[in-house]
Structure 1
């Protein structure tokens, strides 16, 4: 418990730091003297060096990472992660927009087509967010609550379609208000066990009947405060996001239910100049406000909007009607040209107990990782992380920082 307390204490530090002044939005990515894998490739091919970022006409920067990796529910798949960083206005006054496409497939009928975007219009006047996915599972679940035996898991087969879109208008320099619409469609949900059902296993009555499909549809109210210049590799600054969702049978949902997701992040630079030396903090609170949410819509570790929480913990390992999460990470360049870096991270989460809706058990994880600069113009890293927790460990490869 002492270790968990220390992790929680470290992750609460951003709350104390929120009063610091945000960064100036005119802070730009300085690529002077920096090197990435594209530079190395061009030098091998004896191609001419790239132009300075703010003199070139090109404003789209691609990063691609083809890998074979493990996927939820067991097995491996070929994953091709593609990220595009885009400036839709003057880089001095407009944040870097990002679009990521990470399809995966294997030879056993598993595949996924997720596309996620955050578009900043000229001078940051609007932020348009999108999240569209079509995924074919199975996935394991361990039921509800923060204390479940590792071997007490249940394999669930289903197909999943997600369509989330929102538009936020800038009200002040960093504060945005907007609305959106979210759709979740869980198709042909069924347990793989012939002697048990998801309903019996979880003792939860919404969205757990065998061979059924479950549809949730409703508008969202979105609040955003963001002083980061680049979400792919955030500068020192603050990010806060609150999303209230209202699902209604009048809009096609199987049940009326509501949820709230509140996300807070803080990035603190430990040096004014030189190689990157940053402390990053992340915390979120996710809750179902009413009854009626389908089981697969309930808050779960690794199922946050970006699916980046719980490094070192298996996806869905902890699920409840409420979920609270804290993570801290130390980021440091190894080489002065920014080509190589490393991170060390720790996180802890708690899912509420089904019987009393209280947070009684805390589940920590930790790990470290290597960073390789793929594209210095968008400051996009290849991230190779290794995380571990009790009875589990995994390697995570991705483009762009976890948060």
Structure 2
């Protein structure tokens, strides 16, 4: 067992991503879970130049227009660059990708390349997040002459195997595909010096815990581990206990209501009026991300919105990776204005200037509400989250929002839905 705290700790889920911006005073607060420990004091860092980063990375940051670190970057980088394990908590959009990415790249800079034997591994829960992390880190890896490969399901495994055989210092992967490549002998983890786990809670929630632990058990003792998660309870806490040694603990605000940039609305409707309200929201004149619970419901709603004259498209795990990538590009370009998605498909998505998120089906857990709402109001922008609620759902949704720490504006919308224009500026399709 690797870097174990105790032999008794057995284990049974962003275009650019998370672009950094000006740091407020970094907020290091207590984290949940017994493994987290007290928050680590935060050095005062106002510039990347204050950090021990390679000169090539500093030049690339300047080329990318990145001038000052976000809070999570300013909090974690001094410790991660010094080689400490990191336990970071923060919502998506807080700058986690560069927080772990810069440290990871700096740690392995100058190391010799070897076929099938990467020096660093980044594990993420979904293909889309893998793509975004890869795109975000690629220019910084190139600046250091480091090879970076993305390995995910839905793509040719033989092509990914060839890339690994050619040699790549950094692998960004979903756990299942990396486990397949390791089993085939196309990748070995015995030279990995640093790992990063992004959105560790979702990897656990999606059932990847066995693959994650099997992979981390093959990483050499003494490797550095950087774990980032919106929540640190349950099996995430067990991951921390098993693999992190004396981690520096940092947290930034996890509420989707960060800095008051997000407006939250509950729209109460009768069942007969629900689709009319959803259609009006989807036709608001800007890009809208709509969440429903199942793949079948995604397809049905997208088809119905198309019938309403709205440029809608579905996004869920039943579609091929090529279809999903094409849909996301169309959404980013504005060719699709209403993206209908499941929780899993939209995990980790970063869409610039996304102003409206609609919970067509209310989520079942407050963490899912925070995740969904985190798709808007990113990188200092503002946005709105609208949750459609039927009469029988009122009590459950009220409890869910209270757990999420959100106080919404509640509006009852009848046939005709004129109130929607007042609260969100939407128009009739």
The bucket for the TM-score relative to the shorter chain is under 0.3
TM-score by length of 2: 0.24
Between 1 and 2, higher relative CO (CA 8 Å, sep ≥ 6) is seen in: 2
TM-score by length of 1: 0.25
Higher-strand-fraction structure? 1
